[in-house]
Amino acid sequence: MAGPRSADRARTTRVAARVTIGALAVLASIVFAQISPATAAPIGTTHVTPDRGACGDHGGVRSVSCAAHLTERWMRRMGLGDVVRETVLVAPVGAGLWRSSTTGGICGFGAAGKLGLGLHHCDHRTFVYPSQDFMLLSDDVTTVTALAHESAHGVHERAGLDPVAITLSFDGHRLLPLELSADCWAGMALRWFVDEGMLAATARAGAQGLLRAAAGGLGHGSAQQRQSAFDAGYLQGATACNRLLGTPTFPAGP
């Protein structure tokens, strides 16, 4: 059971998060009310060109370009080529908010001071924050694991789920199946990349290490849960991912 100090910290975190969301909404309505994110990269972001030639474990933006290419190939392979239409880099002071064309809820991004949201996906677009997500972008394997994970949230949206709304509700219990099934989907993707010779067999260990290191956030699961979910996707495929999510959402193939 949490003590008074833990409860105070949790309460402070929830309040700060709600203030952050409110501030982002105000900023977006004032500054970016005219953007049309469904058709063009939002103001404050830079389009990432998917590029197989960028692969080579350079890390950073080049690995993002490599991972965007690999993720694009994976999604097309699974008959989901329209789910992730673009990957973008968020500028240090970029921020925006709009009504999602996929869920009817909200989609947005923010990297200005305490508005930083971190790597996420919504409304057909994956948002990458180079200054914040450096651990995720250390090499091609970690980066493609992260982007493949985020693409799963696009699959969630396609099925009528709203990961953004659930995240903003701070309901870790509801969020956990989404996050673990996304780890599972990343495992499926990594297995395909390895089988097709796009990544070395050692990629599995690299992805496992990333998920263990990134464990512990609200609704994201423990290190053991995240690795187990990834391994389930790597070894068992879509059946395992749908079991983790609790509904038949992920396809076994095209």
For 103-112, how does the pLDDT look when each residue is reduced to its tens digit (9 = 90+)?
Answer: 999 999 987 5
Q: How many Å apart are CA 54 and CA 58, to the nearest integer? A: 8
Would you state the pLDDT for residue 39? 54
Q: How many Å apart are CA 246 and CA 226, to the nearest integer? A: 16
Classify residue 28: in a domain, yes or no: yes
Per-residue pLDDT band at 10 (split at 50, 70, 90): very low
Classify residue 49: in a domain, yes or no: yes
Pair type for strands 86-90 and 125-128: parallel
Classify residue 254: in a domain, yes or no: no
**Residue 228, SS3 per DSSP:** helix
Query: Is 90's pLDDT higher than 70?
Result: yes
Taking each helix axis from N to C terminus, what angle separates 172-195 and 238-245, rounded to the nearest 10 degrees? 170
Would you state the pLDDT for residue 144? 98
Residues in a beta bridge with 107: 98
Query: Is 52's pLDDT higher than 90?
Result: yes
Of 126, 190, 172, the C-alpha closest to 153 is: 126
Q: Classify residue 46 as left (phi > 0), alpha (psi -120 to 50) or beta.
A: beta
Would you state the pLDDT for residue 112? 57
Q: How many Å apart are CA 223 and CA 25, to the nearest integer? A: 33
Q: How many Å apart are CA 100 and CA 106, to the nearest integer? A: 5
Poorest-pLDDT segment among 115-124, 179-188, 196-205, 212-221: 115-124
Would you state the pLDDT for residue 238? 98
Q: For all residues of the chain together, what is the average pLDDT?
A: 87
- pLDDT tens figures, 168-193: 899 999 999 999 999 999 999 999 99
Residue-range definition of the domain harbouring residue 218: 4-245
Is 125 buried (19+), middle (13-18) or exposed (0-12) by CB count in 10 A? buried
Largest CA distance in the chain: 54
Classify residue 250: in a domain, yes or no: no
Q: Give how many domains the chain has, as a whole number.
A: 1
Classify residue 253: in a domain, yes or no: no
Q: What is the mean pLDDT of residues 123-144?
A: 95
Query: Is 234's pLDDT higher than 60?
Result: yes
- pLDDT tens figures, 68-85: 999 999 999 999 999 999
Would you state the pLDDT for residue 253? 87
Side chain identity, residue 6: S
Backbone φ, ψ for residue 89 (5° rounding): -95, 135
Classify residue 104: in a domain, yes or no: yes
Classify residue 252: in a domain, yes or no: no
Would you state the pLDDT for residue 183? 98
Per-residue pLDDT band at 205 (split at 50, 70, 90): very high
Classify residue 251: in a domain, yes or no: no
Backbone φ, ψ for residue 98 (5° rounding): -155, 170
Distances (CA, A) of 40 to 25, 103, 124, 126: 20, 18, 11, 13
Query: Is 29's pLDDT higher than 90?
Result: no
Would the CA dihedral through 193, 141, 148, 226 be positive or negative? positive
